[in-house]
A and B are shown apart, each in its own frame.
Chain A
């Protein structure tokens, strides 16, 4: 920054000095000239006095004699005295008719000193005034001298003042203003420079520090303080940033305009957007889609951050579901807190700190817990009701039996009692189902052959199913023995078959498959009731209408039924569930609307499985690093599979829909393998997706996965029999082996 010279201190100083010294000079000159004027006029007065003293006698004599010539001569002589302008002698006296007048010199109108001196003649000792001498002395010469003198003084003084002023200006520039300009320039550029520079003057340091040194010292001290504070501020900022970044919660800072100002890395990860995408986004028009817990969309009316902004009140623990780019919904618990008044005063604006954490898992766990508690409560209730009802049944049946004995001679009445007894038998069967669900029923777990148990009831199953439904039983050749109550297993199977029949009103096919299965530690971790190990699996599949997700969720609840009143008790699957739990087994249902249902019932093996058939639980499953695209519409399964693949070292991309999958395939990513669910959406199933994927990437390997059994999938012509398929629940070791064999297979 430079200050224009005409505004500088130097010139202002120069002007002031000039003004002052000029005024002073003028004043002093005026005083001196006045003194000279006084001297000059005094000299003139003196001269007039001399004329009066020395020349008047002779003039009086000449006048007495009326010698005009002589008077004129005398006056001419006097006129030659300096400054004399005019002389006149006039005869005076009352008796004189024509007084004698002698004048020399020209009388003037200008400035002059005039004096009338009486001419006194000593007439014999008697002084007589005989005339008057009028003398005029001009001041012109005096004035002329004064002007000349004034001019001389002014020129002389003016030059001296000007030169002195210039000198002072130069000195001030050298000593002061130059350094002031430097200081100004230093501070002008200070903000743009690092804070380490210090102010220094361009001059050899004086022996003793002067005022400028003190100024510089003061400034540098101030700079040290500022630099220290700046460093503190930077450190504080870094600490605050590190703190925000270290939070497990996502943090967004929303400004008074409702736009995101800042975000931490966790927020980017949770929302699936980069800081560049997030900062500047208006909370009223977010780049993600959010829903509230009740499913209604998040709008500018109910958005917690905007509410906090509008009302100034903190919004705490608001549950918001956000559709991640992969398509699944993550649930966040959101806090939106406005800065306090004090903080606002510091930052100068209203800001909202929005923090949020991912509570998806927590929510799911809570839902599972609620579901488990519900089942438990229903179980207790059911058990209690069954107990009391059973007591009543005991009384009815006992007395009916006694009655029947008494009616030996009355076959008609005995028949009535027998019918009533039959009904109590059915009532007892119902209470047994209830007690089985409530896990109060005695189980006689024995080593059983699943195949034999199924074969035993197969004729009854066929009768139950009727003509329109074909039944197929497929058993693995090396089927291992299981530990279960055979009668209960058969009852469970019957329940499953009845459900399958009811799902296939227009006919269809029922498949019962028996196989050896393995539930691994990863699976057990996600399903706390499961003990990892070897199981026998009984899978019952139908080609019926299938179940909607909301039906599927409640399928195991007692008395929950989709059948018409009177057609089913709603206890069938509950009994299967209770039986599986009581047998230390596990049950899973896979169903999609329009694609039938598969129920898999796992029962513990009676003996430890042979070493040869087992995945070595502690051995390292073969992994890889190829990029795998997973397509699965169930977000939970998608997440589980993705986690599993990542744990094997693979790079994973997720897609919840075939459309998203195709977009990823076309994006040029080096995808080596497509792992897709068979049943995806109405408009595209896994097979169609795979066909289109292979047109994009001919080298691509395809592995299908399905909750339905391979048998059902292949025979239902959902996929070709030559394809590779892995059944859900997907077990890590099996998947690891399958992936490697597919990825390592040479291209056909």
Chain B
């Protein structure tokens, strides 16, 4: 672990789910930011250079797949956890896009997300190559 606390950005249209992720991540030592929209998310990613990103791919205002593409083009080094409550095909597509751009640390989780699975995915983001999923 680094001396600085790890940074996590969680983007989910359901604030309560974001709060749940924040609780879990904070417990694991993350500093958590939860932006409201895509622009805030992008600004936060650019500013904070997070180690982990939790992203719902299906949101009413934002296209999660588009955000993943954006992250990949930016060669974002964060581990990405893609969450989906709807059609797993979206999550799968997002994951393929991320891998296609060379992002190695991608995890896909289906809602409802078991606590243990979320913790494992977040730990993988921190762990680098040796703990990657």
Q: What residues make up the interface of A, taking CB atoms closer than 8 Å to B?
A: 383, 387, 390-391, 393-399, 401-402, 405, 424, 428, 440-442
Contact = CB atoms under 8 A, between A and B. Distances in A.
Nearest to B56: A391
A395 B16 contact: yes
16 contacts: A383-B87, A387-B58, A391-B17, A394-B17, A394-B20, A394-B85, A394-B112, A395-B14, A395-B16, A398-B24, A399-B20, A401-B114, A402-B20, A405-B115, A440-B88, A442-B88
Interface residues of B, number: 19
A424 B58 CA distance: 22
A441 B91 CA distance: 12
Given A391-B14, A391-B17, A398 B113 contact: yes
Nearest to B90: A440
A390 B111 CA distance: 7
Nearest to B114: A401
B23 interface: yes
A397 B20 CA distance: 10
B64 to A, nearest CB: 14
A398 B85 contact: no
Contact of B86 (A383, A402, A405): A383
B112 A440 contact: no
Given A390-B111, A402-B115, A428-B112, A395 B20 contact: yes
B17 A442 contact: no
A538 B110 CA distance: 30
A394 B86 contact: no
A405 B114 CA distance: 13
Contacts of A383: 86-87
Interface string B80-123: 00000111110000000000000000000011111100100000
Nearest to B111: A394
A418 to B, nearest CB: 13
Contacts of B88: 440-442
A401 B14 CA distance: 18
B20 A387 contact: no
A424 B112 contact: yes
**Chain B CB within 10 Å — which of A395, A428, A442 has the most?**
A395
A440 B87 contact: yes
Nearest to B91: A442
Contacts of B24: 398, 402
B81 to A, nearest CB: 13
Contacts of A393: 111-112
A506 B85 CA distance: 42
A616 to B, nearest CB: 38
Nearest to B118: A398
Contacts of B89: 442
B86 A398 contact: no
A667 to B, nearest CB: 60
Contacts of B58: 387
Contacts, number: 54
A440 B58 CA distance: 13
Contact of A398 (B87, B110, B112): B112
A393 B20 CA distance: 12
B115 A398 contact: yes
A240 B81 CA distance: 76
Given A440-B87, A442-B88, A395 B17 contact: yes
B85 to A, nearest CB: 5
Nearest to A393: B112
Given A394-B113, A395-B14, A395-B20, 7 more contacts: A387-B85, A396-B112, A398-B17, A402-B23, A428-B112, A440-B88, A441-B88
Contacts of B14: 391, 394-395
Contacts of B114: 397, 401
Given A391-B17, A402-B24, A397 B86 contact: no
Contacts of A396: 112
Nearest to B116: A401
A397 B89 CA distance: 23
B36 to A, nearest CB: 17
Contacts of B85: 387, 390-391, 394
Contacts of A442: 88-89, 110
Interface string B3-24: 0000000000010110010011
A686 B113 CA distance: 56
Given A387-B86, A394-B17, A401 B111 contact: no
A118 to B, nearest CB: 168
Contacts of B113: 394, 398
Given A383-B86, A390-B85, A397 B23 contact: no
Contacts of A402: 20, 23-24, 115
Nearest to B23: A402
Contacts of B112: 390, 393-394, 396-398, 424, 428
A401 B110 CA distance: 16
Contacts of B115: 398, 401-402, 405
Contacts of B23: 399, 402
Nearest to A384: B86
Interface string B23-53: 1100000000000000000000000000000
A395 B111 CA distance: 9
Nearest to B27: A402
A107 to B, nearest CB: 161
Nearest to B24: A402
A440 to B, nearest CB: 5
A701 B115 CA distance: 68
Contacts of A397: 112, 114
A357 to B, nearest CB: 43
A403 to B, nearest CB: 10
A187 B24 CA distance: 115
Contacts of B16: 395
A653 to B, nearest CB: 52
A394 B21 CA distance: 11
A398 B113 CA distance: 7
Nearest to A387: B86
Contacts of A391: 14, 17, 85, 111
A398 B89 CA distance: 23
**Chain A CB within 10 Å — which of B16, B111, B114 has the most?**
B111
Contacts of A424: 112
Contacts of A395: 14, 16-17, 20
A395 B24 CA distance: 12
A219 B16 CA distance: 106
A342 B58 CA distance: 68
**Chain A CB within 10 Å — which of B58, B85, B110, B114 has the most?**
B85
A686 B22 CA distance: 69
Contact of B20 (A390, A398, A428): A398
A46 to B, nearest CB: 157
Contacts of A398: 17, 20, 24, 112-113, 115, 118
Nearest to A442: B88
Contacts of B20: 394-395, 398-399, 402
A190 B8 CA distance: 110
A396 B112 CA distance: 9
A576 to B, nearest CB: 20
A395 B112 CA distance: 8
A327 to B, nearest CB: 47
A391 B23 CA distance: 17
B48 to A, nearest CB: 24
